[in-house]
Amino acid sequence: MRDTLPLLEAIPFPALRRGRLDTLQVNVGYRCNQSCVHCHVNAGPNRTEEMTGAVADLVIDVLARRGIATLDITGGAPELNPHFRRMVRGARALGVKVMDRCNLTILSEPGQDDLAEFLAAERVEIVASMPCYLADNVERQRGKGVFDGSIRGLKHLNALGYGRDPALVLNLVYNPQGPSLPPAQGPLEADYKRILGETHGIVFNRLFVLANMPIQRFGSMLVSKGEFDGYLRLLQDAHLDANLDGVMCRNLISIDWRGYVYDCDFNQMLDLPLARGANERVHLSDLLDAGLADNPVRVAGHCYGCTAGQGSSCGGALKEAAE
């Protein structure tokens, strides 16, 4: 795979500083039942990196000690980590909102038969990738059989009350198929609701529209096809300073499976660790007694993926999020 970091580090981006920490985004490992083309963490069935029980306990300790409101659990397929359910229960017992970045097909994997019921019982918010409402487009990006599996998963979640009961939030995520900016979030959400509703009887809360990041598998593919510079130019030309205030690294930190801290999931995948003073690699254990407010963010060319057009974050378009 082609490394895009040297190319990205050569591109200047406006300086950013961290604000108040309200979300811990935790990557519990890279094992996944899928291997999607655009996957920015290069996850797949053969990855073995996995968060240990000791680090999972540390996550709960930091949530409690620092009064953090939201735990956002990602992977791979985070539910495959053996400590996933314990971490969810621990966070919910503290009154923390928990989000699960769920790929939907995991709900019908062997050994996960009661997963949807567990998530509903713990009132976990589900954020699920659904790159299109058409089977062909989904399968080109995420693999054969993924569309039907995803529809099955959504129906199962709806049957439990997800997308209908205000306490059971189900949000979907869209990202473009190739090196283009995502369309406007509001109209696309309306199309998704109409077509998934009419065709499959599916309901959901919000559609988050995200830009593809020029890193990992997708970035490498751009380099191989000679499309990297063009895509970066597209992102830079669409940059809006107004989006700088809403980028997720201001209020979120990303934790890797070993417990090391990054400004966001993308920096984690680029191995650009959050640095604090002379400490070039901060560990979650360093945050039990110290905050990160005003710490500089490690920025590079990929950050234009967050500030182009309507903006992009793990909660969708920044413009919509602010409205």
Give the SS3 label for residue 145.
coil
All residues at 6 or more sequence positions from 179 whose CB lies less than 8 Å from its CB, including other chains? 212, 222, 227, 230, 231, 234
Residue 215 Cβ, how far from ligand SF4 at the closest point, in Å? 9
- Contact string 121-140 vs ligand SF4 (x = CB under 6 A): --------x-----------
- Contact string 203-232 vs ligand SF4 (x = CB under 6 A): ------------------------------
- Which is nearest to 130 in space by CA: 173, 189, 100, 169? 173
Minimum CB distance to ligand SF4 smaller for 76 or for 273: 76
State the burial class of residue 266 (Cβ atoms within 10 Å of its Cβ: 0-12, 13-18, 19+): buried
DSSP code at position 258: T
| Interface with ligand SF4, residue 270, by CB under 6 A | no
**50-79 binders of ligand SF4 (CB under 6 A):** 75-77
| Interface with ligand SF4, residue 147, by CB under 6 A | no
Half-sphere exposure of 85 (CA within 13 A, CB side): 11
Q: How many CB atoms lie within 10 A of CB 237?
A: 11
Whole-angstrom distance, CA of residue 260 vs CA of residue 273: 8
| Interface with ligand SF4, residue 34, by CB under 6 A | yes
Segment contacting ligand SF4 (CB under 6 A): 20-28, 84-92, 167-175, 301-309? 301-309
| Interface with ligand SF4, residue 35, by CB under 6 A | yes
| Interface with ligand SF4, residue 32, by CB under 6 A | yes
Residue 83 Cβ, how far from ligand SF4 at the closest point, in Å? 18
Residue 281 Cβ, how far from ligand SF4 at the closest point, in Å? 16
Across the chain, where does the E strand assignment appear?
23-27, 70-74, 97-102, 125-129, 170-174, 207-209, 252-255, 261-262
Whole-angstrom distance, CA of residue 40 vs CA of residue 217: 6
Segment contacting ligand SF4 (CB under 6 A): 49-57, 83-91, 176-184, 294-302? 294-302
Q: Catalog residues that contact ligand SF4 under the rule CB under 6 A.
A: 32, 34-36, 39, 41, 43, 75-77, 103, 129, 142, 247-249, 263-264, 266-267, 297, 299, 302-303, 306
